[in-house]
Structure 1
């Protein structure tokens, strides 16, 4: 049973920090990243290992420290996980090179 991430309890409290980070991404030309996608990155990658005694200011600091390249690397790997790409398939390789 999936009950969510331990830090989901902070989500509404850190919404301004998430919005600030998304605004920064937009200024850099990454307009299509959503709040949910950013939150997924944080919970699946940055906060993969949950710390029991974490404080709100630490959560905010980690949100504000996210770099675009960190998020884009994560998004790329997730996209490959969702596709039926097979490196051994010539058809998949040709599709990748289009």
Structure 2
């Protein structure tokens, strides 16, 4: 199973995590961002997906602070265009 197949398989857990973040007031959280957060932070060195139970565990244990840290770092990486005068 590749990463995209795994994403589809664990999608209900990802959706649940997004709903949890929304309950805490992080309305910007999306399934795509949660998945990318895990891919870039938790599984960045893994070429092949882990067993399903480990992936589910990682999804469900993703903390708000880890997610917000990821979002902040990604925001700093984005280009910023200064308005011309």
Report the TM-score, using the length of structure 2 for normalisation: 0.84
State the shift of 1:73 in Å: 0.6
Show the counterpart of 1:41.
37
SS in structure 1 of the partner of residue 9 of structure 2: coil
State the shift of 1:68 in Å: 0.6
Task: Give the conservation status (yes or no) of the 8 Å contact 2:3–2:48.
Answer: no
Q: Which runs of 4+ in 1 moved over 4 A?
A: none
Structure 1's unaligned 5+ residue stretches are 1-5, 86-90, 92-98
CA-based RMSD = 2.0
- Equivalences, count: 81
Matches within 5 A, 1:24-63: 24-50=20-46, 52=48, 54-63=50-59
State the shift of 1:49 in Å: 1.5
Report the TM-score, using the length of structure 1 for normalisation: 0.73
Change (3 A) 1:53 1:84: closer
